[in-house]
Amino acid sequence: KKNLDCQPCMKRTCPLQHHDCMNLIKAVDVLNATKDL
């Protein structure tokens, strides 16, 4: 999860047209998050 000014939005389509909440997530972030499960 990235801390952004536009959070929490919870919309399927980004009202700001950038989808930074998803685009800023890197593969290594996902890998590290799975270690905590």
DSSP track, 1-37: ----TT-----SS-TTS--HHHHT--HHHHHHHHHT-
- pTM, 2 dp: 0.59
Q: Which pLDDT score, from 0 to 100, does residue 14 have?
A: 94
pLDDT tens per residue, range 1-37: 678 999 899 899 999 999 999 999 999 999 999 998 8
Q: Which pLDDT score, from 0 to 100, does residue 19 have?
A: 92
